[in-house]
Amino acid sequence: MIAVIGGAGYIGSLMVKRLLAMGERVVVFDNLSRGRRAAVRGAELVEGDLRRPADLAEFFGAHSIECVMHFAALASVAESVRAPELYYDNNVLGCVHLLQAMRAHGVSRLIFSSTAATFGEPDAIPIREDHPQRPTNPYGETKRVMEQMLRWHHGAHGLSSVTLRYFNAAGADPQGELGEHHEPEEHLIPNVLAAALGRRDAVQVYGTDWPTPDGTCVRDYVHVDDLCQAHYLALARLREADACEAFNLGNGDGCSVLEVIRAAEEVTGRSIPWRAAERRPGDPARLVAAAERARAELGWQPRFPELGSIVGHAWAWHQAHPHGYGEGE
């Protein structure tokens, strides 16, 4: 059985769907602080919190777990700068408790959802896996610490793990069932589409004087469905052999904020207003992945690398779910 920690969230819920489609047995563990009950479909949902060891002991004691997929970290750069204590509590302490519970119950495989934010301001573009990790915000720092914990646990306790460093996760379920819904929403594409739907007056563009071609931040957007594909390939890798390794996941092409807005205007056929705002603390100017290693060693082949497909799937979901998963879900 695969335990999807944080399986009621954006990426975790799509991962649950893929695992079930592949015939896997799945159980979800989520505290529902950021996830949505309605996003968990076809799998058992156990409500619990990584920060409470008793919740984890009960969960692992009641289920025969082969591998853990960890999606339950808090993941907002801006929030982490405002409230770093939340990120050390949930991400770092929560990971300590998870690893202790896994070891106590003989679970030795873990796939970890990490981030390009561990790299900080890059020395070179595209960013390779061996680039120095110098995070510029508490979110990236806590993920870097979590990655290091996995490496130390491999040597000390035989924990086998694959870390997947997402660049900018985006898009929605190609079948239109699941999508991105945060409160408050800080990610660019959902906010751009909210403006297209008339739910926002304008898109905030945080800085127009970055050292990039059009002055706005450049990011490597990767489709959420392609991220789930990489996780399933990582599961196959752990089933074959012991591992402790990390892979970057991105398309190798950076798009600026203004390019995303223009792409959304093409997809939606609507004009999307935007206004300049101050830079956000902790934001690097450019993050673009070198992901050849994932392609060569995992066999990862993204199905939806084009920005138009990413925005198009997100637009279809947001049109069908203008209020996300609904009140109280």
Q: Identify the sign of the CA torsion 182, 183, 187, 189.
A: positive
DSSP 3-state helix, strand, coil percentages of the chain (rounded to 5)? 40, 20, 40
Taking the C-alpha atoms of residue 32 and residue 6, their distance in angstroms, rounded to an integer, is: 8
Q: Kindly tell me the burial class for residue 46, based on how many C-beta atoms sit within 10 Å of its own C-beta (0-12, 13-18, 19 or more).
A: middle
> What are the helix (H) ranges across 7-113?
10-21, 53-62, 77-82, 84-87, 94-104
Taking the C-alpha atoms of residue 185 and residue 62, their distance in angstroms, rounded to an integer, is: 35
DSSP state of 252: S
Cβ atoms < 10 Å from Cβ of 154:
18
Q: Identify the sign of the CA torsion 248, 140, 56, 182.
A: negative
Q: At which residue do the structure tokens 């996300």 appear?
A: 324
* 139 carries an active-site annotation: yes
Q: From the candidates 139, 166, 221, 232, which is the catalytic residue?
A: 139
Taking the C-alpha atoms of residue 127 and residue 106, their distance in angstroms, rounded to an integer, is: 35
Alpha carbon of residue 297 to chain centroid: 21
β 44-47/26-30 pair status: parallel
Measured CA to CA in angstroms, residue 134 lies from 118, 130, 210, 285 at distances of 6, 12, 19, 14
Calculate ∠ Cα 30-36-37, nearest 5°.
75
253 token code pair:
């092409």
Catalytic residues: 139
